[in-house]
Structures are given as C-alpha cells and as structure tokens.
Amino acid sequence: MTEARVEVPEDFDFETYINSYEGFTRIARSLFIAKRCDALAVEGYKTAIHEIKTTTMNTTKYNYTLDSLNAVLRSQNRPILPADQDWITETQLRNKATLDALENELKAAKTSVTKEGIRVAHTKLGDYYYKKGDLPAAMKNYIRTRDYCTTTQNIIDMCFNTIKVYLDDSNFSHVVQTYISRAESTPNITDKVDIFSKLKCCHALSLLGGSDYPNRYALVANDLTEVSFESAPHFNDIMSANDVAIYGGLCALVSMDRRQLQAQILNNTNFKSFLALEPALHELIEAFYKSKYSLCFQLLENYKHSLKLDMHLASHLDVLIQLVREKAMVQYCIPYSVVDMRKMAASFNIPIDELEDDLIVLISRKEKIAARINSHEKILCTKKKEKRDQAFERSLVAGAEYEKASKALLLRLNMLKADLIVR
C-alpha cells in the first residue's frame, strides 16, 4: 500500500525541527519525513545519511538510505550521490575488530567471575550491536546484564537500554512497559525528576505505538502532564519538549473534561511552559475550552498538516480530530433542550448535512447524546432526565447500599456472637 504524500506545511523548518532531537531518533524521524514529503525527501535522506555515518556502524542502513536518496534524485533528474566506499570498508573492518575484542573481554570477565566485569562486557556488546543495527542481539546482551546489576544506577541503565531497543524496534508490547515499571520502582534513585520524566515519555510512546489500548489517550495525557520542563534536555533522544506539548495537549483535549482541562493543562504552570513552545496549540486548546468551536477547528485544520510529519502521531490524527469533534458536539448540546442545527453547523463551520450525519452517529451511541432529530425543521431535541426521576434513582441506589452495609454488619455481629472471628 502506497503511503499518503504530505505537502510541506507553512512555517515548517526541517533543520530546526530535527535539531531538537539527539541520538537515533534523529535518523528515524528524518527517514519518516523523507518517505512522506516529496519536497523534504532529499534533505531528509541526506540528514539521515550524515547521522548514520556519524553515530552508527550500520552499513546496511547506510546503503538502504543512499539507494532511497538516489531514487529521489533520479526522479528529479538530478545527479546521484556515489557511495562512500571508504567509510563502508573502514566500518566493516572496525566492526569485526570491535566484536572480537568485546567477545574476548566477556570471556575474560566470565573466567574471573566478576559480576561488574560481566555486566560491563555485556553492556558494551549491547551498545555494539545497537550501533550496528542488530537489535535482537543488542536486546539479548542488555537483558543479560540484569543478573549482574549491583547498584541502583546499574538497574536504571539496564532498563533504559532495554527500553530504547524496544522503542527503536517498534516493539510496543507490554514487555517495554514492564521495564518502565521496574525502573520506576527501583529504590534510592538519584536525579529522580529527570529519570521519571524520561520514563513518562517512554511510556507515552509505548501507548501511542501499541495496539488499541483502553483509555490510551487519557494515559498519555496523564503521563506527559507530569513531565518536568527542566528535564527536557535529558529526554530529547526520546522526544522533544515540543512533542510533550503536542502529544500531551491533544490527548488531554480528547480525554479530559473542562475542569480537568483547565486545572491540568491551562492552569498547570509546568505544562504551560511546554505549551509556550507551541502557541498555535495553546490557542487551539483555549478556543475549545471557551467553546469557540469554529476557531478551534480552523486552528486544528491548519495544525494537522505539520502533525502528519510526526512519526508517532500521524497514524492517530484522524482519530484524534474525530474525537475532538464529537466531544465538541456533545459539549455544545449539554445546555440546551432544543438545538437549532443551522446555528450549530455555522458554529462548527461545516455543512448542515455533514453535521446531521455526525449527530446521527452520536445519537446511535446512546452514551454520547440522548436526543432525536427533526430533519425537516433541522432541530435537535435532547432528552433531559426529569429531576424527580434522577432523585428517585439516587434514592434507590442509596437504599441498596444501605441494605448491603446493614447485612454485612449483622453478619459480623452474628459471627462475633458465635466466636467465629479470627482474633
């Protein structure tokens, strides 16, 4: 299946964007943009090639990326780039020599039976395979350090090494969350704020990348609203500070009610520092909170073009936009018993027929909107529960709970009387 092509968004500066990341995520994001945006393909592939040669020993990925770049250059009738054969040969020789040295170091450590030596040797082998692009071998060596960790820092390092391989391998199973939980439960952590902030970012990515997870967006929002702004330099190999604002803000928009949105997003001093990096998103969330839906969806429509180039959010965009739209419609209808659909369509800046189709879907899911549509008059009549009925229902619930508590108390008294209680 061919991937949807994306036009270059206005005010999108590729260099500024990619420079906010460090490590292998720079390569992954450069390749993602190059594959999806024709106008940025050459710049994206060239950036990825430079990063591969600078930070890795992965000749296979280098050749693949160079072939992809040259295919684009040929399609544009531009001269192709020759392979850097010297770098390839030198890297392959260095890889072999490094592997031999590391395997000998591991053998020596096992012979001397020093836990720290074995841990360090396996970590070095994991680093070697990670840079070479052999992620299964890297994972195997990182996991083997688990039995040789003697300090808190050893455990934290082992967890982060394992997590990064899972994320880079797009393996978002429950296993990566197990290592995140293990790192969080490690006692006596130094730099706790920075480490926990990075773990929250890792957990958010695992949720976004994994299969459909219950309350996924609510969990992502909760994670990222707890990330410290001062810790941003410590997790830019995972995501940037701008990503925290974007992922956290949009997920909060679809999962939080108005009171939570105000307390945890708009009035949250720490998260507002992240939102300051994305003023368009801040304005979007405020417009939604203030029920300025036409402005909100106009901003969202403009904003989504740049989000299509985000490797973790692109696949969620349509769902998120639909959820925002549904939530806004539900929120719009709450105060009224009768809604003029013409005015509502104008507020949402959409055709009335499209609005009617959306409302039919929401009404069919009864937990969203309880109403009926007068299609001829273009009126929505909501079904409000009578206060008397609501009071009666609450009374029944309270009575059932009282009965349950009374029976439990009588049972305990009878057991005490019969001396059946363990003292």
pLDDT tens readout for residues 101-114: 999 999 999 998 88
CB 148 within 8 A of CB 125: no
Provide the H-helix boundaries in 210-278: 216-224, 241-255, 258-260, 269-275
Domain range list for the chain: 191-312, 335-382
Name the residue among 189, 270, 279 with its Cα closest to residue 227. Answer: 270
pLDDT per residue as tens, the chain (423 positions) = 445 678 888 788 999 999 999 989 999 999 999 999 999 999 999 999 999 999 999 999 999 999 999 999 999 999 999 999 999 999 999 999 999 999 999 999 999 888 999 999 999 999 999 999 999 999 999 999 999 999 999 999 999 999 999 999 888 877 788 899 999 999 888 889 999 999 999 999 999 988 777 789 999 999 999 999 999 999 999 999 999 999 999 999 999 988 999 999 999 999 999 999 999 999 999 999 998 988 998 899 888 888 999 999 999 999 999 899 888 888 888 777 888 888 888 888 888 888 888 888 888 876 577 778 888 888 888 765 555 666 677 788 888 888 888 888 888 888 888 877 655
Instruction: Give me the CATH code for the 335-382 domain, please.
Output: 1.10.10.10
The residues facing 371 across adjacent strands are 382
Residues 6 or more apart whose Cβ sits within 8 Å of residue 115 = 148, 150
* Reported pTM: 0.85
Strand order in the sheet with 371-374: 338-340, 379-382, 371-374
Question: What's residue 421's pLDDT?
Answer: 65
Name the residue among 59, 77, 13, 5 with its Cα closest to residue 34. Answer: 5
**Residue 8 and residue 36: Cα distance in Å, rounded?**
10
